[in-house]
Amino acid sequence: MYQYDAFDRTFVAERVAEFREQTRRFLAGELSEDEFRPLRLRNGLYIQTHAPMLRVAIPYGLLSTRQLRMLAHIARRYDRGYGHFSTRQNIQYNWPKLAEVPDILAELASVEMHAIQTSGNCIRNVTSDHLAGVCADELEDPRPWCELIRQWSTLHPEFYYLPRKFKIAVTGSPNDRAASAIHDVGLHLVRGPDGSVGFEVLAGGGLGRMPILGKRIREFLPKPELLAYLEAILRVYNRYGRRDNIHRARIKVLVKALGVAEFTRQVEAEYAAARATAPQVSAAAIERLRACFTPPAYQALADRDPSAGADAAFTAWYRHNTRAHRISGYRVVFVSLKKHGEAPGDMSAAQMDALADLADWHSFGEVRVTHDQNLLLADVPQQALADLHGALAGLGLATPNIGTLTDMICCPGLDFCSLANAGSIGIAKQIHEQFDDFDYLYDLGEIQVKMSGCMNACGHHHVGHIGILGVDKHGEEWYQITLGGSAGTEAVLGEVIGPSVPRREVAATLARILEVYVAQRESDAESFLRVVRRIGVAPFKERVYAADTAAA
């Protein structure tokens, strides 16, 4: 993974010193809350329902075990012993003390981490495919490009005070596992007409109150032009994006208002006009970054079937929580943070420490964060799987539910967030209770449930196969259900099935929806998403609300 050099270390240390001084000024009354807000946000610090919330950047989801141990230390020393992994591949701490945040940032800096630009109206942490570098379907590893973008976007002098937040995702595989269509800019490494590799560029995606999928504005961009083109997009956005209404300020609103063709024309015109001064990505610069992401020292191992003769628990875990690796003899292992009774994405300090040990022993000392709030050990020798399973099970990190209904995405909701209408964590619990039969979950196959506690859509409900959105009705929690969304390669926004349902009815409503699926599927191989696309939402709607009437 990327290692800081003296240059990066100097920068992060100077940044910590700057924020320490800003915090001092705020606490001394020299800065008003309004003046301090944009400064603290750009250092990852929110003021939440109970306390400040600190969001620490995990660039494109990569962590060394040294860094993971530091995250555990911070959870223990400055928080309440746990952290929450988010859909942005970051970690959030819900109980830090404002006065201690500069110390936390200094501790993070000691392991080459920071919280810079994890919130605020600026370019946020770049995200990517959690299988980068280990999947067989990849055209090229996106991580050197992610790191290039991370550095370029850090304290960019011109694009530090944007109309609104700005999220970039990069994928190197035709199978989009980074939800790039719901980002302000999505970059896909693709092969161009002359056979060289460059980028397809999407712009204007985003969820929230106005969910829109990104539109392609460039079919093929040569690699050296990447930053020049991003600057053109950002300059058009910075100058012409709306600033009068926070709900109309994302780039998607500008793209929609201008139309894709006109927006593209303006970007291309700016790109052409800036040619003389725009940054070019030199071959040497990208080679230097590429050298940070060379494959680990794999052993020559033969593929084996570790589930042969193994017990049912291991077999279920092997089948659901591990994936093929491009190198023979190795396997990709998901660490499920979706155990019944735990808030999705939460992890204790003890679990972090123990997982760091396991990653040192079995996966070259690296851990990844996925955008659906699990962790991943990317390079596990198949011969180590049995031991690893035993250890993970002992830690409560081996729930064999990856890709199933209970592998839900879920925002922190009312329990922590000052924006939420609904307690998404409680709903997750209700769903776990209703669907506690793993054989039934396996029979249902792949279903992505995504849940947000409010319209801001941190839980990506619009692109869940089943989306659940918390809404407030006269002080009561109700839930709106959408079906058929997908964040994958052919991204689609889900369709609302009808009036929202009361809190106590959410899991039962899902059960009815799934009955329709099971009855309608043509074979076990026809997934929930395919059935929704084939038959539409009407049959589901009918079942859900007919039952409602019957109950009333």
Partner 1 sequence: MRQILRQRELTADRWRYPGEQGAGQQVRTLAELLAMTAGTAQATGAPDTGVLLGPADELEPLAPWIARLALVVVHFEKNGDGRGFSQGQLLRQRYGYRGELRAQGAVKRDQVFLLARCGFDAFDLDPAEDPQAALAQLGRFSVAYQPAVDLLVRPRQRA
Residues near partner 1, by CB under 8 A: 7, 10-11, 14-15, 17-18, 22, 34-35, 38-39, 121, 151-152, 154-163, 235, 238-239, 243, 273-274, 277, 279
| Contact indicator for 293, 133 with CB cutoff of 8 Å | yes
Nearer Cβ to partner 1, position 35 or 436? Answer: 35
* Closest separation in Å from C-beta 112 to partner 1: 15
Residues in the chain: 552
Nearer Cβ to partner 1, position 98 or 511? Answer: 98
Which helix (H) or strand (E) covers residue 507, if one does? Answer: helix 506-520
Nearer Cβ to partner 1, position 163 or 453? Answer: 163
Nearer Cβ to partner 1, position 244 or 305? Answer: 244
* Closest separation in Å from C-beta 170 to partner 1: 17
Nearer Cβ to partner 1, position 18 or 415? Answer: 18
Strand pairing report for 168-171 and 185-191:
parallel
* Closest separation in Å from C-beta 59 to partner 1: 13
CA of 287: how far to CAs of 8, 131, 180, 188, 405, in Å? 18, 21, 25, 19, 41
Nearer Cβ to partner 1, position 238 or 399? Answer: 238
Residues 6+ apart with CB under 8 A from 272: none
Nearer Cβ to partner 1, position 20 or 530? Answer: 20
* Closest separation in Å from C-beta 213 to partner 1: 26
Task: Give CA–CA dist 460/260, Å, rounded.
Answer: 23
Which helix (H) or strand (E) covers residue 76, if one does? Answer: helix 65-78
Task: Give CA–CA dist 228/240, Å, rounded.
Answer: 18
Q: What is the DSSP string of 125-149?
A: --EE-TTTTT-TT-SS-SHHHHHHH
* Closest separation in Å from C-beta 148 to partner 1: 10
Task: Give CA–CA dist 270/345, Å, rounded.
Answer: 41
* Closest separation in Å from C-beta 158 to partner 1: 5
- The identity of residue 450, as a single letter, is K
The alpha helices in 189-335, defined as continuous H runs, are: 226-240, 251-258, 260-273, 283-290, 312-321
Task: Give CA–CA dist 334/322, Å, rounded.
Answer: 6
* Closest separation in Å from C-beta 101 to partner 1: 16
Q: Which long-range contacts (CB under 8 A, 24 or more apart) does 102-106 make?
A: 102/16, 102/19, 102/20, 102/23, 103/78, 104/54, 104/74, 104/78, 105/15, 105/16, 105/19, 105/20, 105/43, 106/16, 106/20
- Alpha carbon 343 to its chain's center: 16
Nearer Cβ to partner 1, position 143 or 460? Answer: 143
Radius of gyration over every alpha carbon of the chain, rounded to an integer in angstroms: 23
* Closest separation in Å from C-beta 253 to partner 1: 16
Nearer Cβ to partner 1, position 119 or 151? Answer: 151
* Closest separation in Å from C-beta 139 to partner 1: 27
Nearer Cβ to partner 1, position 9 or 304? Answer: 9
* Closest separation in Å from C-beta 18 to partner 1: 6
Task: Return phi, psi of residue 144, to 5°.
Answer: -60, -35
* Closest separation in Å from C-beta 314 to partner 1: 47
* Closest separation in Å from C-beta 248 to partner 1: 16
Buried b (16+ CB within 10 A) or exposed e, 512-526: bbbebbeeebeeeee
CA of 329: how far to CAs of 11, 46, 141, 305, 323, in Å? 41, 44, 21, 10, 12
Nearer Cβ to partner 1, position 47 or 197? Answer: 47
Nearer Cβ to partner 1, position 235 or 331? Answer: 235
Strand pairing report for 197-203 and 215-222:
antiparallel
Q: Is 29 helix (H, G, I), strand (E, B) or coil?
A: coil
Task: Give CA–CA dist 536/545, Å, rounded.
Answer: 16
